Amino acid sequence: MKTSEGQLENTVCELLKKQCSEYVPKDKELLVSGVIGSFQLFELICELEEAFDIRFHQEDLKEISHFSSVNAITNTIKKYMA
């Protein structure tokens, strides 16, 4: 079953909601703004891998900008779902 972009964003937002208690705009910088810390980002990445049955490549994990916002995370995951 193919996941639509809207479903993908909704899942990312729901998983992010577990890490913080506030609404996060899709373009808000997660780490820079202090919405989540580095440990929470690590937990989020693990949950994303489980939710979408993917494994991020080391190159993506090294590039923090791939996980800097909901939009960036969604775009990164789309690469694995193509």
Place of tokens 């937990």: 43
pLDDT value of position 69: 97
CATH of the domain at 52: 1.10.1200.10
Q: Does the predicted model carry a pTM greater than 0.95?
A: no
Label residue 69 exposed, middle or buried (CB < 10 Å: 0-12, 13-18, 19+).
buried
CA–CA separation, 45 vs 61, rounded Å? 9
- Tell me the residue range of the domain where 11 lies: 5-81
Average pLDDT of the chain to the nearest whole number: 92
Q: Is residue 44 a contact partner of residue 19, using CB atoms and an 8 Å limit?
A: yes
What is the tally of structural domains in the chain?
1
- Whether 48 has a pLDDT exceeding 70, the answer reads yes
First to last CA, the chain: 12
Q: What is the pLDDT of residues 6-21, one digit of tens each?
A: 899 999 999 999 888 7
Amino acid in the structure at residue 34: G
Label residue 12 exposed, middle or buried (CB < 10 Å: 0-12, 13-18, 19+).
buried
